[in-house]
Structure 1
Amino acid sequence: MKQSKKEKSLLSNWKLHIIAFVFVLIGEAIGVIQFDLGVGTIALFPMLYALVLGGIVSFPKFKLLTEGQMKNAATILGISFMLFVAKLGTMLGPSLPQIFEAGLSLAFQEVGHIIGTFVIGLPIALLIGMKREAIGSTFSIDREPNLAIISEKYGADSPEGRGALGVYVCGTVFGAIYLALLAGFLGSIGIFHPISLAMGAGVGSGSMMAAASGALAVTFPNDAEDIALFAAAANLITTILGTYICVFFSLPVTARLYEWLEPKIGRSRKKGAA
């Protein structure tokens, strides 16, 4: 469906602005809700409500928004995150000595992305029946730079490309909600330091980082500024350093592991195969 000239103009986005404003009012009116699970607490906060309401309103069957308006909303979201990152940048400058002091910790947080992707994800993908799509879906967390890497190596139409795109779409739709709930729960357990959780929130996605760091800020209000600071620094490192790790390590190792593991644990393997 092509966008009309009216939808392309800035003034035609009034409906989106009103909907967003209403969602903000609803979210702030509800406030923070916490559920005690015994071993920890799950915190629901205003941004999470806005994400859920936005998903409901944009559901195609409801026909509340056109495809063109949804594309405009995605563009506006990108601009909003630019402002958010600019704000974080003003916090990063004065705190550079503090970030340099935690330099090795910030660098080593990238190891978690490796363990959580192909070390754990690849065997699970093979056990549920995925084939070469498993390479694209588990070699990284599959954000924009990772999609470019897999497209350049295998092609966007390849099984590997479809696997990477599938994880990208799932991360876009569910990632922020999932990380917000997970971060709030892990923070409430009391095992992890809030700064270490903030570093873990930097997964290379602005929306996921904002959701996770927002949940942590609710759980640790006294450390809210440091949480935003280290989450932004970790997110930047993941985007830059993680790209090179994916090119020279994660993707080649994942492809090699696939060739070794698929005959052994792949669901469709023939009986008696080695």
Structure 2
Amino acid sequence: MSDKSINIYDWKLHLTILLICVISEAIGIVKIPLGPGSIMFLPLLYSMTFALILYLLKSVTFINENQASLAEKFITIGIGVFIAKVGVQSGAAVKSVIDAGPALILQELGNLGTILISLPFALLLGFKRESVGMCHSIAREPNVGLIASNYGLSSPEGRGVMIIYIVGTLVGTIFMGLMSSILASFTSLHPYAIAMATGVGSGSMMAAASAPLVEMFPDIATEISAFAGMSNLLSTADGIYMSIFIAIPMSNFLYRKLEPILGQRKKSSSSEIK
């Protein structure tokens, strides 16, 4: 049954999006030189920022939760078209992907390394069992479903995963785009390595992060798109199994060991795992 509160013919929303896109494209690509490299700002960054500002402004009453839900559905459609394009480009550069060997698969283990940093930091900020939901992944739809199935969304773990899901939706693409540009400009990392790192399991984040690379290295744009797309596909395909068998048990283990040391003196918001 469709949600009657969501009107797909909301002309105010469509007009607002069109104006944001026109303004963002008119601004174009802005490069800020820094040392030997530069930070690149793309139209996607502007459009995300403008949309976020309009959503947060209380005076703009025609952009609220209902419009956000509708816009999310259109984003899914747009990302689907983008992924199809990436698939075609990946096929054209399949030899380069094969030559990368096990690197594309082994780079998935790097996603687990973030748990070692994020979970202790979350405990230092005062989070309890929420830290498990927050830190085990980037909290996209499959991981939200996994946490909901294991713990329930009303649990501390469920609240934690939803916090990261919302934050990732609002600012994840902006962060990924800036990080990709900075790494490409100020480090010796190969563009292929950065492209593989953009495939975190989110189509929108991958698109935002790979766009600066394509702009900065036009001679290998096809290969960059191929590595990013293949990496994102692998992250999406095996990410849920990585979470089930490694990430969540690892997060729970670290929580049991580190919470008595790093946790602030607050009553845990849920029962400890026995």
- What TM-score do the two structures reach when normalised by structure 2? 0.89
- Counterpart of 1:155 in structure 2 is 152
- Counterpart of 1:23 in structure 2 is 20
Contact 1:13/1:72, CA 8 A, preserved across alignment: no
The superposition leaves residues 121-160 of structure 1 with CA deviations (integer Å, 9 ceiling, x where unpaired) of 1111111111111111111121111112212211111111
1: CA distance between counterparts of 2:175 and 2:88? 28
1:257 and 1:190, CA in 2 relative to 1: closer, same or farther beyond 3 A?
A: closer
Residue 189 of structure 1 pairs with residue 189 of structure 2: no
- Counterpart of 2:86 in structure 1 is 88
The superposition leaves residues 220-263 of structure 1 with CA deviations (integer Å, 9 ceiling, x where unpaired) of 22222222211111011011112111101111111011111111
1: CA distance between counterparts of 2:135 and 2:68? 29
| Alignment of structure 1 residues 132-171 onto 2, 5 Å | 132-171=129-168
1:40 shift after superposition: 4.5
- Counterpart of 1:8 in structure 2 is 7
Residue type of the alignment partner of 1:69: Q
- Counterpart of 2:50 in structure 1 is 53
RMSD: 2.0
- Counterpart of 1:71 in structure 2 is 69
2: CA distance between counterparts of 1:266 and 1:23? 43
1:269 and 1:26, CA in 2 relative to 1: closer, same or farther beyond 3 A?
A: closer
| Alignment of structure 1 residues 89-238 onto 2, 5 Å | 89-116=87-114, 118-238=115-235
| Alignment of structure 1 residues 253-272 onto 2, 5 Å | 253-268=250-265
Residue 239 of structure 1 pairs with residue 231 of structure 2: no
Structure 2, unmatched stretches of 5+, are 268-274
2: CA distance between counterparts of 1:38 and 1:251? 41
Q: Secondary structure at the match of 2:201?
A: coil
1: CA distance between counterparts of 2:152 and 2:170? 23
Moved more, 205-214 or 25-34: 25-34
1: CA distance between counterparts of 2:76 and 2:132? 29
The superposition leaves residues 76-109 of structure 1 with CA deviations (integer Å, 9 ceiling, x where unpaired) of 1111111111111222223333222223111121
1:139 and 1:66, CA in 2 relative to 1: closer, same or farther beyond 3 A?
A: closer
1:98 and 1:166, CA in 2 relative to 1: closer, same or farther beyond 3 A?
A: same
Residue 33 of structure 1 pairs with residue 30 of structure 2: yes
1:180 shift after superposition: 0.6
1: CA distance between counterparts of 2:36 and 2:246? 37
2: CA distance between counterparts of 1:72 and 1:160? 27
Contact 2:199/2:231, CA 8 A, preserved across alignment: yes
- What TM-score do the two structures reach when normalised by structure 1? 0.89
1:269 shift after superposition: 7.0
Q: Secondary structure at the match of 2:93?
A: helix
Residue 248 of structure 1 pairs with residue 254 of structure 2: no
Structure 1, unmatched stretches of 5+, are none
Q: Secondary structure at the match of 2:244?
A: helix
2: CA distance between counterparts of 1:193 and 1:104? 17
Moved more, 50-59 or 237-246: 50-59
2: CA distance between counterparts of 1:26 and 1:184? 22
1:45 shift after superposition: 1.0
2: CA distance between counterparts of 1:82 and 1:176? 16
Give the number of aligned pairs: 264
Q: Could you say which structure has the higher helix fraction?
A: 1
1:14 shift after superposition: 3.5
Residue type of the alignment partner of 2:99: E
1:67 and 1:163, CA in 2 relative to 1: closer, same or farther beyond 3 A?
A: closer
1:66 shift after superposition: 4.7
